[in-house]
């Protein structure tokens, strides 16, 4: 019930707009690496110092105006420049909808091409993040088109989809990130049970490790991580064929432990003012993260009185509505 509740919140454009007014004072500062490029670069340098590479996402959703998409494009181009100038070990993750996919396909493709082209000149990889099922066909089409011109692009395979294996095999020669999936999808096309999703995740991950180009294994589940360790050892898979990925702010100790053990590790670093949808999906994936929010909300050193009041109000509404849904 809580997952459905937070997923509903993540798609609320009114709340998304309202959240921007409060910056990161509603607890998101724990999982979002600042609101500007300088703050993101600082966070990435700190991770690099521990042997951790980064994939950086300039957050943005609900883009339906060309000027907003163009602004998002310019922001990402500036991020690429900052990565290059600061010699940061990082690559780009982006969502096609942020660049105008819901406005016009050709407009979006042109924006993407400009980004991929600049990244290519700096030898920076660009990952096309996958969104809900309604955007999948066009996102794969964009990947197909741009991969004819550039070799620095890849994408994401979401394990909760029934047909994920088909996409995995089609794009086996790409660098792929394997994830469980973060959107609410209908049972006709996606697994709903956690055990089924986990099982498919492991199946996809193993297949790509054996047959694919490079595998980014995105999970915080230490059981799956231990399974990967045993699998690669048993099958003599070189460490340079894969990496573990986790989200910024989650399981920091485990991130450092894996990196220090010699595994390739990449942290997904989101930043920007448009953090609301991303944050709500993190709560949907793991409602226990409300504890993390509460700690941030009541840290007097990082929150103003207004921020605390606003946060308490929002969390109170969340709890009240969640209880109603359980009845």
The span from the CA of 267 to the CA of 53, in Å, is: 6
Spatial CA neighbour of 217 closest among 282, 265, 279: 265
The verdict on whether 317 is a catalytic residue reads no
| 146, two tokens | 């741009």
- The CA-based angle 61-64-65, given to 5 degrees, is 115
The verdict on whether 129 is a catalytic residue reads yes
- SS3 for the chain, per residue? CHHHHHHHHHCCHHHHHHHHCCCCCCCHHHCCCCCCHHHHHHHHHHHHCCCCEEEEEECCCCCCCHHHHHHHHHHHHHHHHHHHHCCCCEEEEECHHHHCCCCCHHHHHHHHHHHHHHHHHCCCCEEECCCCHHHHHHHHHHHHHHHCCCCCEEEEEECCECCHHHHHHHCCCCEEEEECCCCCCCCCCECCCHHHHHHHHHHHHHHHHHHCCEEEEECCCHHHHHHHHHHHHHCCCCHHHEEEEEECCCCHHHHHHHHHCCCCEEEEEEECCCCHHHHHHHHHHCHHHHHHHHHHHCCCCCCCHHHHHHHHHHHHHHHHHHHHHHC
| 198, two tokens | 């986990």
Q: Could you say which of 175, 177, 281, 282 is catalytic?
A: 177
Spatial CA neighbour of 221 closest among 204, 191, 199, 239: 199
Q: Could you say which of 57, 129, 198, 274 is catalytic?
A: 129
Q: Cite the active site residues.
A: 129, 177
């Amino acid at each position: 019930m809580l997952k459905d509740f937070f997923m509903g919140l993540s798609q609320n454009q009114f709340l998304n707009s309202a959240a921007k007014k409060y910056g990161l004072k509603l607890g998101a500062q724990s999982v979002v690496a600042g609101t500007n490029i300088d703050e993101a670069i600082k966070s990435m340098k700190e991770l690099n110092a521990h042997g951790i590479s980064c994939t950086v996402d300039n957050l943005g959703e609900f883009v339906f105006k060309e000027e907003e998409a163009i602004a998002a494009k310019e922001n990402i181009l500036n991020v690429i420049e900052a990565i290059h100038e600061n010699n940061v070990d990082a690559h780009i993750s982006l969502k096609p909808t942020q660049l105008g996919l819901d406005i016009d396909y050709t407009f979006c493709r042109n924006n993407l091409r400009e980004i991929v082209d600049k990244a290519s000149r700096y030898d920076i990889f660009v990952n096309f993040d996958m969104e809900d099922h309604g955007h999948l066909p066009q996102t794969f089409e964009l990947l197909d088109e741009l991969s004819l011109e550039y070799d620095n692009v890849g994408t994401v395979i979401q394990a909760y989809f029934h047909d994920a294996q088909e996409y995995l095999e089609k794009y086996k020669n790409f660098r792929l990130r394997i994830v469980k999936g973060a959107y609410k999808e209908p049972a006709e096309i996606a697994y709903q049970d956690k055990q089924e999703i986990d099982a498919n995740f492991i199946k996809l991950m193993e297949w790509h490790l054996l047959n694919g180009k490079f595998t980014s294994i995105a999970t915080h589940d230490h059981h799956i991580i231990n399974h990967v360790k045993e699998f690669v050892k048993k099958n003599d898979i070189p460490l340079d064929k894969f990496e573990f990925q986790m989200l910024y702010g989650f399981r920091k100790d485990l991130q450092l432990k894996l990196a220090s053990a010699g595994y390739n590790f990449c942290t997904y670093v989101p930043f920007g003012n448009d953090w609301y949808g991303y944050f709500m999906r993190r709560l949907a994936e793991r409602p226990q993260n409300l504890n993390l929010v509460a700690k941030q909300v009541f840290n007097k050193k990082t929150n103003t009185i207004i921020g605390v009041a606003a946060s308490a109000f929002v969390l109170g509404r969340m709890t009240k509505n969640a209880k109603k849904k359980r009845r």
